[in-house]
Amino acid sequence: MIDLILLTGFLGAGKTTLLQSLLSEFQNEKIGVIVNEFGEAGIDGTLIEQNGIRIHELNNGSIFCACIKENFLSSLIALSARDIRLLFIEASGLADPANMAQILRTVHAKTEVPYDYKGSICIVDAETFSDYYSLLPALHQQVACSGAILVNKADLVGAGALADVIASLRAINPSAAIEVTTYCRTDIRKLIDALNAPELQDAESSNTPESRPKTVVLSSEDVLPLEPLRRFLDQIKADTYRVKGFAETNKGIVYISGLKNHLEILPWDGAFPGTKIVIISAVGIQMVSRIAKGLSGELKEKVKVSL
């Protein structure tokens, strides 16, 4: 059988960081990976490819939504025919996995080797969870469907705020193991060995084509000026759920990661063709006009904006 482990968590909570740790810990095992992102441009796949892992990327929607669920089913069936022992699935940040039972039941008769669903690890951003929980039903479902919860970025909040987050999580899911972390640092083997899959219910996912967030992609084949790019991203970051991507600049290739009012632009040693920056809007279609207003000078001439 193939052990299947699902990773969930809001945008920027630390799923890719945990996945990289899992791949490192199990590097001597035969591993398959499915990475799911809302934007049509895949960013996380590039981060993981640095570890030499072959992956299936499913972009432009949630794997639990009708928009790309068929692609998810096809990937599960295809990977079951490969010589793997472990399958890690990194769901998109706004994924609602309530229909996981339906999905596993659908693929069961079509797989070459059956999957053994070990459960879901939910990564919670200690700093942003309370802000977004009441606005996004998917966050409730991510916690409710999990077998283990990592309360990550604990270093960014005080003891009182951290206690409030843990109390909220306990109210949603009384049985899941909860661990407080920074940079998702944990005993990986212990986390996996102790993971228990909750009893899966036949529920519908709240992920629908109508509820999906507005995503904008900035792209360019030209070299971009770094400082104007930094100023532009600083201007729009407060109106986004997530900013993530790579840019080829006059200071070299950089990796961009933004969440709420935090924005990191870091040197990137690997290769990336041109510039692709995915922006998930917190203000809907208004983001397009705010981007158009913010782009000026050399950036306006060189950057293409697409939905």
Domains of the chain, CATH where assigned = 2-193 (3.40.50.300), 215-306 (3.30.1220.10)
Pick the more confident residue, 53 or 148. 148
The residues pairing with 88 across neighbouring beta strands, listed in sequence order, are: 5, 33
Label residue 135 by pLDDT band (50, 70, 90).
confident
Q: Please tell me the least confidently modeled range out of 102-111, 201-210, 294-303.
A: 201-210
**pLDDT score, position 180:** 98
pTM higher than 0.85 for the full model?
yes
pLDDT tens digits, one per residue of 240-280: 999 999 999 999 999 999 987 789 999 998 878 789 999 99
